[in-house]
Amino acid sequence: MRKVLVCGAGGFIGGHLVKKLKKEGAWVRGVDIKEHEFATSRADEFILGDLTRQNVVEKVLDQPFDEVYQLAADMGGAGYIFTGENDANLMHNSASINLNIIQQAYLKGVRKIFYSSSACIYPAYNQQDPSNPNCAEGSVYPAEPDSDYGWEKLFSERLFQAFARNHGLQVRIARFHNVFGPEGTWAGGREKAPAAICRKVAEAEEGGQIEVWGDGLQTRSFLYIDECLEAVERFMNSNFEGPVNIGSEEMISLNELAKMVIAISGKKLSIYNKPVSYEGVRARCSDNRLIREKLGWAPAKPLSEGLEKTYRWIAAEVAKTVSV
Ligand code: NAD
């Protein structure tokens, strides 16, 4: 039986990944510093542990797993990674996790290891024109990520590549672009734009107003979780190491995203663009030429479909808090 370790199994993508792996018949060990907030983990074993600690990593990575998925990271949306207040923590914690895991995977003879990098590694200077960002895989250098979160991801990509080069580990490095869906963080400061907007719309009263950070003209693309996991599976089953973008090419502005969610809700709401100092780059969109060429993959469905499912789920969560 295929034996799999999922690091970050208590998180959004990790939680969905565990479900998918279990459906496929794998034996799964999950590890996270916290339980999953919204669902009981389907993992065969779920270990609560801090992966910044080497002795914890030695315990959870104690055998030559067929596959390891390294998704654990100290992360959040713009309100967490762009303010500067969390930089020391997120760099120290995520780098420690990655250093521990790759070394232990090598020592235990892990067959294949997946690393979740991010679109945040791309240089800020290529993402200033709202209608024409450059996020092609080869555009990383000269490096100038817009956050320390991005710098850590870039360091860890190189760390994983160095272990592949010097120790023969099979690595698969993906750069996720704004993955969203149900059972992800939707409040508390670490939520990302789609979840935050869904929450604001769900909480708003008919005829009211919702806040969108910045002038709302900044552009992004968003990928629904099921599409993301399909791409990850194809990637893991291929001979291609990456790094490769896993994202959508359907680029829209934040105001357009908010209008889409408002339309899904059926409410009449207006948008207030709140000036903030940490809205991130002006434009970001996945460039899928490489993944199409190497894996024949592209998202199958429009953004609106995934957004509808996500809005329904967040609205139900909001309703629970109101009724408590
Ligand atoms: P998430 O925050 O829901 O999941 C990350 C998990 O890591 C959390 O459950 C967290 O508790 C866990 N973790 C943090 N510190 C830990 C520690 N010291 N020990 C053990 N576990 C720890 O985020 P996600 O959206 O599921 O993202 C998964 C991965 O994908 C992350 O590495 C993230 O950087 C990357 N990524 C995600 C997106 C996205 O849009 N969701 C975009 C780019 C990259």
The answer to whether residues 205 and 254 belong to one domain is yes
C-alpha 32 to ligand 1 mean position (Å): 9
The answer to whether the beta carbons of residues 79 and 189 sit under 8 Å apart is yes
Residue tagged active-site, from 69, 80, 149, 311: 149
Is 70 exceeded by the pLDDT of residue 209?
yes
211 and 116, same structural domain? Answer: no
How far, in Å, from the CA of 269 to the mean position of ligand 1? 32
141 carries an active-site annotation: no
Asked if the model's pLDDT at residue 80 lies above 90, the reply is no
Whether residue 296 is contained in a domain is answered as no
- Write down the pLDDT at residue 277: 78
Confidence of residue 324 (pLDDT cuts 50, 70, 90): low
Contact indicator for 97, 52 with CB cutoff of 8 Å = yes
- Whether the pLDDT of residue 77 is over 80: the answer is no
Residue 194 predicted with pLDDT over 70: yes
Average of pLDDT values for 290-300?
98
CB 282 within 8 A of CB 127: yes
8-state DSSP, 102? H
Whole-number pLDDT of residue 287: 98
Residue ranges lining ligand 1, Cβ < 6 Å = 8, 10-14, 32-34, 50-52, 71-75, 93, 97, 116, 118, 176, 178-179, 185, 192
Q: For residues 66 and 138, state if they share a domain.
A: yes
Determine, yes or no, domain membership for 210: yes
Tens digits of residue pLDDT in 103-112 = 999 999 999 9
**Chain centre to alpha carbon of residue 116:** 7
Distance 7 CA to ligand 1 centre (A): 9
Identify whether residues 201 and 231 lie together within a single domain. Answer: no
Q: What is the pTM of this model?
A: 0.96
pLDDT at position 263 is 97
Average pLDDT over residues 5-21: 98
Mutate to test the pocket of ligand 1, among 75, 94, 149, 186 (most ligand atoms within 8 A of CB): 75
Q: What are the pLDDT digits (tens) for 242-293? A: 999 999 999 999 999 999 999 999 999 999 999 987 778 999 999 999 999 9
Q: Look up the domain containing 111 and give its range.
A: 3-179+223-246
Contact (Cβ atoms closer than 8 angstroms) between residue 272 and residue 209: yes
Q: What is the pLDDT of residue 170?
A: 98
As for how many domains the chain has, the answer is: 2
Least Cα distance to 182 among 87, 72, 307, 285 occurs for 307
Query: 148 with 90: CB under 8 angstroms?
Result: yes
Taking 80 as the threshold, does the pLDDT of residue 79 lie above it? no
- pLDDT interval class at 323 (50, 70, 90): low
Ligand 1 centroid, distance to 208 Cα (angstroms): 33
